[in-house]
Amino acid sequence: MPILSNVLGFSLFGLASRLGQLSIEHRKLTSNPAATALCTAVFGYAGYWAWRWDERAAVILAEKRAQIEEHKAKRAATAGAQ
């Protein structure tokens, strides 16, 4: 469910930015629905990309933490042997 909430959140932000743009230009909110849908889809894809980036970063951090723990264990073993 985190992916769905992330994509929907970014999509709603895209929709809000498009509606804000139209209100600044004093145009009807339904003047170009294709552009509104495109803006929502692009922001939704950005939300998906951000979720994927976050997942990949979590994997990389877990691998690095495991490597650090391994190095600490090796140093403790060599220090204990001396």
Q: Return the domain boundaries, the chain.
A: 2-81
Asked whether residue 31 carries a pLDDT value surpassing 90, the answer given is no
Asked whether residue 82 carries a pLDDT value surpassing 80, the answer given is no
**Could you tell me the two tokens for 71?**
């190095």
Asked whether residue 1 carries a pLDDT value surpassing 80, the answer given is no
**Could you tell me the two tokens for 80?**
């204990």
Residues 6 or more apart in contact with residue 9 via CB below 8 angstroms: 47
| 3-state secondary structure labels for all residues of 14-64 | HHHHHHHHHHHCCCCCCCCHHHHHHHHHHHHHHHHHHHHHHHHHHHHHHHH
Please report, as a single letter, which amino acid is at residue 32.
N
Asked whether residue 50 carries a pLDDT value surpassing 80, the answer given is yes
Rounded to two decimals, the pTM is: 0.75
* CA gap 10, 16 in Å, rounded: 10
